[in-house]
Structure 1
Amino acid sequence: MIEIKYADKICRFDDEGVDPEHPGTMYGPMIQGRFYEHAFLDYIASLEIPGTYVDVGACIGTHTVFFALYCPSGRVYAFEPRSVQMRRLRRNVELNQVHGRVIASEWALSDSRGRVEVSLDRRNHVLRTRRLDTLVREPVAVIKLDVEGMEAQALGGARRMLRRYRPRVFAEAHTEEDVARILAVLEPYGYRATGRVFNASPTYEFVASRRADSRGKVAMRRAVHATPAPVKRMLPNGVRRLARRALR
């Protein structure tokens, strides 16, 4: 059992099968008593945004549990299509006694209902897909997405949500093409990049303004230049090229 003390609470996470000598990227910080991507989570908690949170690509539920315990979330929807990770997520939700506020679903999210073949964990998986708009009907305050290059497709299935509720969006983007696809979905609804980038796998923050303008692209350029050097070295060259083109 892994225990993490954060603020005035102790969180517990299942560590079955985790090698303490080689814990990996996610479990390494947790074994040391910190949340995975803790600076990112600190920032989200500091915003104190009330409402429903959606965790797309929830994996074992670290962020889901954090949203339920430390953010003013009435409810947290967690989507994770891999069965092994979903079992651990549900176990972690139970361990932290937030099962009454978390709705966990094994759907993959996309812009249509169907099936998609993806490569995850060095294996090919055929996943069942649904649209977020059909699975979550209530107002949403925050959406976090980490779905291995399918962020734009997942957002494409949430157009009603983006238009009506204008949630704050945190989306991972590995390549120039990923960034461009995300912006293509968000910009028609008045979203812009804030200039903040988190995590070793770059995760961008987007907020909805009253109208779409060039500020989003300007902010993205500033975000790339302001990214800490260890993270910046991991950014694809294409993302930096996209930022440099923003003011042309």
Structure 2
Amino acid sequence: MPLDIVTVPCLDDNYAYLVNGPDGVAIIDAPEAAPIIDALTARGWTPGVIMLTHHHWDHVQAVDELKAKYGCMVMGPKAEEDKLPKLDFALPDCFSGGNGDGLCEVIAVPGHTLGHVAFHYPKAGAVFTADSLMALGCGRLFEGTPEMMWDSLSKLAALPPETMVYSGHEYTLSNAKFALSIDPANAHLISRVQDIETQRSASQPTAQVPLSLELATNPFLRASDPGLKQSLGMEDDSDVAVFTEIRARKDRF
């Protein structure tokens, strides 16, 4: 049974995801109860588990309401257990479980927060990255270091390029404007920005894309690229130093 993945817009710019596979229905992150309940009801689905990527309120605040309604389990990173709603199962790094396309691997991706995780479904070719790798961006370093985030992004960049990336926020258009400011000659990026503008003018989501597109256009994944280093005047600097500079520029953008 292949995965059936539903994107659920929540709050002003968050996304939750419903994943229906051979092991049942999972909710990935819980920003807002009403739209998640509406999406489940429309499909006649009952969730068995809520899977949390990190502790920030805009990813967890609907947990109690959803658990009370459906009686589902709650899972989240063990490293953030003390900051999360009560967990039924604390996920260690490198945990995996499930069957067939429902096989899910937990990937530790600290940086945005110290215990942030991503959920990778290798047989289904999908990864849910929340606020680690984002469409044309990455999360702010609220708790971790540039070295942590670069290592996390490098793990995600090493996944098969056809993997679909499902990230946690609709920040793509603002991220695109920044990306163009430091990588203006990137033809793939220019084309992508045009597509994003068209999609957003039609209120379509843009934070769900193949990893191959991120590798070609996301400056935070391309800190090792000689052309981008040259554009930044950092030809002789380390990849981490370049990533640090890109993140600092985005913070000021």
TM-score bracket, shorter-length normalisation: 0.3 to 0.5
Instruction: Please report the TM-score for the alignment, with normalisation by the length of structure 1.
Output: 0.39
